[in-house]
Amino acid sequence: MPEGDTIHRAAATLQRAIGGQVVTRFESVLPKLTRVDAGAPLRGRTVERVEARGKHLLIWFSGDLILRTHMRMNGSWHIYRPGERWQRPHGDMRIVIETAAMHAIAFSVPVAEFVTSRDLLHGNIVSDLGPDPLTEDFRAEDAIERMQARGDTEIADVLLDQTAIAGIGNVFKSEVLFGARINPFTPVSELTREQIAEIVAVATRFMRANVVSGFSRTEAGGGVITYGGMRRTTGRSDPSARLWVYGRAGQPCRRCGTPISRLKQGPFARSTYWCERCQPARTLP
Ligand SMILES: [Zn+2]
Protein backbone atom coordinates (compact mmCIF):
# COMPACT_ATOMS: atom_id res chain seq x y z
CA MET A 1 0.00 0.00 0.00
CA PRO A 2 1.40 3.42 -0.89
CA GLU A 3 2.21 5.40 2.21
CA GLY A 4 1.84 9.07 2.94
CA ASP A 5 5.22 9.98 1.49
CA THR A 6 4.37 8.51 -1.90
CA ILE A 7 1.02 10.27 -1.99
CA HIS A 8 2.70 13.60 -1.19
CA ARG A 9 5.26 12.96 -3.89
CA ALA A 10 2.49 12.13 -6.36
CA ALA A 11 0.60 15.28 -5.38
CA ALA A 12 3.69 17.45 -5.90
CA THR A 13 4.34 15.84 -9.27
CA LEU A 14 0.75 16.25 -10.43
CA GLN A 15 0.79 19.84 -9.21
CA ARG A 16 3.84 20.55 -11.36
CA ALA A 17 2.35 18.73 -14.34
CA ILE A 18 -1.21 20.06 -14.45
CA GLY A 19 -1.52 22.67 -11.66
CA GLY A 20 -2.80 26.03 -12.92
CA GLN A 21 -3.75 24.57 -16.29
CA VAL A 22 -7.13 24.35 -17.98
CA VAL A 23 -8.68 20.92 -18.49
CA THR A 24 -9.10 20.22 -22.20
CA ARG A 25 -10.56 16.73 -21.83
CA PHE A 26 -11.87 14.53 -19.05
CA GLU A 27 -12.64 10.87 -19.30
CA SER A 28 -13.47 8.16 -16.82
CA VAL A 29 -14.83 4.64 -16.76
CA LEU A 30 -16.35 5.24 -13.33
CA PRO A 31 -20.08 6.06 -13.57
CA LYS A 32 -19.93 8.02 -10.32
CA LEU A 33 -17.50 10.45 -11.95
CA THR A 34 -19.00 10.59 -15.44
CA ARG A 35 -22.39 11.46 -13.97
CA VAL A 36 -20.91 14.55 -12.33
CA ASP A 37 -18.94 15.41 -15.47
CA ALA A 38 -22.12 15.19 -17.56
CA GLY A 39 -23.93 17.67 -15.32
CA ALA A 40 -21.02 20.00 -14.54
CA PRO A 41 -18.29 19.41 -17.13
CA LEU A 42 -14.66 19.28 -16.08
CA ARG A 43 -13.58 20.58 -19.45
CA GLY A 44 -12.79 24.27 -19.18
CA ARG A 45 -12.15 24.22 -15.44
CA THR A 46 -8.74 25.13 -14.09
CA VAL A 47 -6.76 22.72 -11.92
CA GLU A 48 -6.32 24.97 -8.91
CA ARG A 49 -4.11 22.71 -6.88
CA VAL A 50 -3.24 19.13 -6.05
CA GLU A 51 -2.64 18.10 -2.49
CA ALA A 52 -2.24 15.05 -0.31
CA ARG A 53 -4.10 14.56 2.93
CA GLY A 54 -2.98 11.42 4.63
CA LYS A 55 -3.34 8.79 1.94
CA HIS A 56 -5.95 10.73 0.00
CA LEU A 57 -5.03 12.66 -3.10
CA LEU A 58 -7.16 15.75 -3.75
CA ILE A 59 -7.31 17.58 -7.08
CA TRP A 60 -9.07 20.92 -6.76
CA PHE A 61 -10.82 22.28 -9.85
CA SER A 62 -12.20 25.79 -10.25
CA GLY A 63 -15.89 26.03 -9.40
CA ASP A 64 -15.53 24.16 -6.11
CA LEU A 65 -15.17 20.64 -7.42
CA ILE A 66 -12.61 18.33 -5.86
CA LEU A 67 -11.59 14.91 -7.12
CA ARG A 68 -10.65 12.67 -4.23
CA THR A 69 -8.79 9.46 -4.99
CA HIS A 70 -7.30 6.81 -2.76
CA MET A 71 -4.74 4.39 -4.17
CA ARG A 72 -5.12 1.36 -1.88
CA MET A 73 -2.87 -1.47 -3.10
CA ASN A 74 -2.58 -1.11 -6.87
CA GLY A 75 -3.68 2.36 -7.81
CA SER A 76 -1.35 4.95 -9.29
CA TRP A 77 -1.33 8.28 -11.10
CA HIS A 78 0.90 8.69 -14.14
CA ILE A 79 1.65 11.77 -16.17
CA TYR A 80 2.40 11.73 -19.88
CA ARG A 81 2.97 14.23 -22.60
CA PRO A 82 0.27 14.21 -25.29
CA GLY A 83 0.79 11.23 -27.60
CA GLU A 84 3.16 9.44 -25.28
CA ARG A 85 2.58 5.72 -24.74
CA TRP A 86 1.04 4.64 -21.44
CA GLN A 87 3.02 2.27 -19.32
CA ARG A 88 0.00 0.44 -18.00
CA PRO A 89 -2.75 -1.32 -19.99
CA HIS A 90 -5.72 0.74 -21.17
CA GLY A 91 -7.93 -1.71 -19.30
CA ASP A 92 -6.52 -0.37 -16.03
CA MET A 93 -7.41 3.23 -16.90
CA ARG A 94 -9.97 4.79 -14.56
CA ILE A 95 -9.57 8.55 -15.00
CA VAL A 96 -7.97 10.78 -17.63
CA ILE A 97 -7.40 14.50 -17.07
CA GLU A 98 -5.89 16.24 -20.07
CA THR A 99 -4.48 19.74 -20.34
CA ALA A 100 -2.74 21.20 -23.38
CA ALA A 101 0.69 20.27 -22.04
CA MET A 102 0.19 17.16 -19.95
CA HIS A 103 -2.11 14.21 -19.44
CA ALA A 104 -2.69 12.76 -15.98
CA ILE A 105 -4.03 9.23 -15.89
CA ALA A 106 -5.22 7.28 -12.88
CA PHE A 107 -4.86 3.52 -13.18
CA SER A 108 -6.73 1.01 -11.02
CA VAL A 109 -7.75 3.52 -8.35
CA PRO A 110 -10.42 1.81 -6.26
CA VAL A 111 -11.71 4.95 -4.57
CA ALA A 112 -12.61 8.03 -6.58
CA GLU A 113 -15.32 10.61 -6.09
CA PHE A 114 -16.12 14.24 -6.67
CA VAL A 115 -16.73 16.28 -3.57
CA THR A 116 -17.08 19.96 -2.71
CA SER A 117 -15.08 21.91 -0.16
CA ARG A 118 -18.15 21.71 2.07
CA ASP A 119 -18.10 17.89 1.88
CA LEU A 120 -14.49 17.92 2.97
CA LEU A 121 -15.29 20.02 6.00
CA HIS A 122 -18.29 18.03 7.14
CA GLY A 123 -18.32 14.40 8.00
CA ASN A 124 -16.32 13.01 5.11
CA ILE A 125 -13.47 10.57 5.85
CA VAL A 126 -10.79 13.10 4.98
CA SER A 127 -11.82 15.27 7.91
CA ASP A 128 -11.42 12.33 10.28
CA LEU A 129 -7.74 12.02 9.48
CA GLY A 130 -5.21 12.45 12.22
CA PRO A 131 -2.36 14.95 11.92
CA ASP A 132 -0.13 14.33 8.93
CA PRO A 133 3.66 14.71 9.49
CA LEU A 134 4.06 15.75 5.87
CA THR A 135 1.93 18.87 6.15
CA GLU A 136 3.26 22.24 7.21
CA ASP A 137 0.79 22.66 10.03
CA PHE A 138 1.68 19.31 11.61
CA ARG A 139 1.64 19.42 15.40
CA ALA A 140 3.46 16.50 17.00
CA GLU A 141 1.65 17.15 20.29
CA ASP A 142 -1.68 16.50 18.59
CA ALA A 143 -0.45 13.17 17.18
CA ILE A 144 0.96 12.13 20.56
CA GLU A 145 -2.33 12.85 22.30
CA ARG A 146 -4.37 10.93 19.74
CA MET A 147 -2.00 7.97 19.97
CA GLN A 148 -2.13 7.95 23.76
CA ALA A 149 -5.92 7.87 23.57
CA ARG A 150 -5.72 4.43 21.88
CA GLY A 151 -5.06 2.84 25.31
CA ASP A 152 -4.47 -0.90 25.09
CA THR A 153 -3.99 -1.02 21.33
CA GLU A 154 -0.54 -2.26 20.33
CA ILE A 155 1.71 0.53 19.11
CA ALA A 156 2.20 -0.99 15.63
CA ASP A 157 -1.56 -0.97 15.07
CA VAL A 158 -1.83 2.57 16.44
CA LEU A 159 0.65 3.70 13.76
CA LEU A 160 -1.65 2.24 11.09
CA ASP A 161 -4.69 4.04 12.55
CA GLN A 162 -5.11 6.97 10.15
CA THR A 163 -7.24 8.85 12.67
CA ALA A 164 -4.36 8.87 15.19
CA ILE A 165 -1.53 9.85 12.82
CA ALA A 166 -2.00 10.02 9.07
CA GLY A 167 0.09 8.60 6.27
CA ILE A 168 1.92 5.66 7.85
CA GLY A 169 1.50 2.32 6.11
CA ASN A 170 2.79 -1.15 6.79
CA VAL A 171 6.38 -0.55 5.67
CA PHE A 172 6.95 2.55 7.78
CA LYS A 173 5.17 0.97 10.73
CA SER A 174 7.98 -1.55 11.21
CA GLU A 175 10.75 0.84 10.16
CA VAL A 176 9.69 3.59 12.57
CA LEU A 177 9.44 1.24 15.55
CA PHE A 178 12.88 -0.15 14.81
CA GLY A 179 14.22 3.40 14.53
CA ALA A 180 12.70 4.29 17.90
CA ARG A 181 13.68 0.91 19.43
CA ILE A 182 10.17 0.11 20.54
CA ASN A 183 8.69 -3.38 20.56
CA PRO A 184 5.74 -3.38 18.09
CA PHE A 185 3.47 -5.39 20.42
CA THR A 186 3.64 -2.93 23.32
CA PRO A 187 0.22 -1.51 24.24
CA VAL A 188 0.42 2.23 23.78
CA SER A 189 -0.73 2.68 27.39
CA GLU A 190 2.57 1.11 28.53
CA LEU A 191 4.69 3.66 26.66
CA THR A 192 5.84 6.90 28.20
CA ARG A 193 5.00 10.19 26.58
CA GLU A 194 8.71 10.56 25.73
CA GLN A 195 8.70 7.21 23.94
CA ILE A 196 5.64 8.17 21.89
CA ALA A 197 7.21 11.53 21.12
CA GLU A 198 10.32 9.72 19.87
CA ILE A 199 8.18 7.46 17.65
CA VAL A 200 6.46 10.50 16.16
CA ALA A 201 9.82 12.22 15.63
CA VAL A 202 11.27 9.18 13.84
CA ALA A 203 8.12 8.81 11.71
CA THR A 204 8.35 12.46 10.70
CA ARG A 205 12.03 12.14 9.82
CA PHE A 206 11.58 8.97 7.75
CA MET A 207 8.51 10.27 5.90
CA ARG A 208 10.03 13.65 5.10
CA ALA A 209 13.24 12.05 3.84
CA ASN A 210 11.17 10.04 1.41
CA VAL A 211 9.31 13.00 0.02
CA VAL A 212 12.40 14.81 -1.19
CA SER A 213 13.97 11.74 -2.75
CA GLY A 214 12.25 9.74 -5.35
CA PHE A 215 10.44 10.76 -8.45
CA SER A 216 12.23 9.76 -11.61
CA ARG A 217 11.52 10.49 -15.22
CA THR A 218 11.32 7.73 -17.75
CA GLU A 219 13.43 7.55 -20.89
CA ALA A 220 10.38 8.54 -22.89
CA GLY A 221 10.35 11.83 -21.02
CA GLY A 222 7.08 11.27 -19.21
CA GLY A 223 6.97 11.22 -15.47
CA VAL A 224 5.69 7.96 -14.15
CA ILE A 225 4.59 7.84 -10.58
CA THR A 226 5.03 4.36 -9.29
CA TYR A 227 4.41 3.28 -5.78
CA GLY A 228 6.52 1.28 -3.41
CA GLY A 229 9.88 1.00 -5.07
CA MET A 230 11.87 3.92 -3.77
CA ARG A 231 11.11 4.03 -0.08
CA ARG A 232 14.10 3.96 2.19
CA THR A 233 14.90 4.63 5.81
CA THR A 234 18.53 3.66 6.21
CA GLY A 235 19.76 6.53 4.05
CA ARG A 236 21.44 4.08 1.70
CA SER A 237 20.55 3.95 -1.97
CA ASP A 238 21.64 0.34 -2.54
CA PRO A 239 18.27 -1.41 -3.13
CA SER A 240 19.26 -4.29 -0.86
CA ALA A 241 20.16 -1.96 2.01
CA ARG A 242 17.44 0.70 1.97
CA LEU A 243 15.26 -0.62 4.81
CA TRP A 244 16.11 -1.62 8.38
CA VAL A 245 13.70 -4.50 9.03
CA TYR A 246 10.74 -4.58 6.64
CA GLY A 247 10.78 -7.63 4.36
CA ARG A 248 13.95 -8.94 6.03
CA ALA A 249 12.65 -11.87 8.11
CA GLY A 250 15.50 -14.20 9.05
CA GLN A 251 18.18 -11.81 7.81
CA PRO A 252 20.65 -10.30 10.30
CA CYS A 253 19.69 -7.05 12.04
CA ARG A 254 21.74 -4.19 10.57
CA ARG A 255 22.62 -3.05 14.10
CA CYS A 256 23.22 -6.24 16.11
CA GLY A 257 23.13 -9.22 13.73
CA THR A 258 20.15 -10.94 15.38
CA PRO A 259 17.86 -12.53 12.77
CA ILE A 260 14.87 -10.26 12.10
CA SER A 261 11.51 -11.62 13.30
CA ARG A 262 8.17 -11.46 11.53
CA LEU A 263 4.64 -11.97 12.81
CA LYS A 264 1.18 -11.15 11.53
CA GLN A 265 -0.36 -8.55 13.79
CA GLY A 266 -3.65 -6.81 14.43
CA PRO A 267 -7.18 -7.18 13.11
CA PHE A 268 -6.01 -7.25 9.49
CA ALA A 269 -3.05 -9.60 10.11
CA ARG A 270 -0.49 -7.22 8.63
CA SER A 271 3.11 -8.42 8.76
CA THR A 272 5.27 -6.82 11.42
CA TYR A 273 9.06 -7.03 11.30
CA TRP A 274 11.30 -6.32 14.29
CA CYS A 275 14.57 -7.20 16.02
CA GLU A 276 14.02 -9.01 19.30
CA ARG A 277 17.30 -7.73 20.66
CA CYS A 278 17.08 -4.06 19.61
CA GLN A 279 13.34 -3.91 20.39
CA PRO A 280 12.88 -6.21 23.39
CA ALA A 281 9.46 -6.89 24.88
CA ARG A 282 8.70 -7.37 28.53
CA THR A 283 6.73 -10.45 27.53
CA LEU A 284 7.29 -11.83 24.09
CA PRO A 285 4.19 -11.98 21.88
ZN1 LIG B 1 19.07 -5.73 16.36
Burial class for 71, CB neighbours closer than 10 Å (0-12, 13-18, 19+):
buried
CA distance 62 to 22: 9
146: Cβ contacts below 8 Å, ≥ 6 apart: 130, 131, 163, 164, 165
Q: Side chain identity at 178, as an amino acid letter? A: F
Cα 279 to averaged position of ligand 1 atoms, centre (Å): 7
Cα 245 to averaged position of ligand 1 atoms, centre (Å): 9
pLDDT on residue 227: 39
pLDDT digits (tens, 9 = 90+) for 115-168: 888 877 765 556 577 898 888 788 999 999 999 999 999 999 999 998 899 889
Cα 276 to averaged position of ligand 1 atoms, centre (Å): 7
35: Cβ contacts below 8 Å, ≥ 6 apart: none
For residues 18 and 104, is the Cβ–Cβ distance under 8 A?
yes
Cα 133 to averaged position of ligand 1 atoms, centre (Å): 27
For residues 96 and 25, is the Cβ–Cβ distance under 8 A?
yes
In the annotation, is 3 catalytic? yes
* List of the chain residues with pLDDT < 50: 213-229, 284-285
Cα 25 to averaged position of ligand 1 atoms, centre (Å): 53
For residues 10 and 225, is the Cβ–Cβ distance under 8 A?
yes
The model carries a pTM of 0.65
pLDDT on residue 148: 95
Those residues whose beta carbon sits under 5 angstroms from the ion ligand 1 are: 253, 255-256, 258, 275, 277-278
CA distance 161 to 210: 20
Q: What per-residue string of b and e applies to 100-128 under the rule 16 or more CB within 10 Å gives b? A: eebbbbbbbbeebebbeeebbeeeeebee
Q: Which of 27, 48, 51, 55 is catalytic?
A: 55
Cα 275 to averaged position of ligand 1 atoms, centre (Å): 5
pLDDT on residue 220: 34
Q: Which of 3, 51, 154, 175 is catalytic?
A: 3
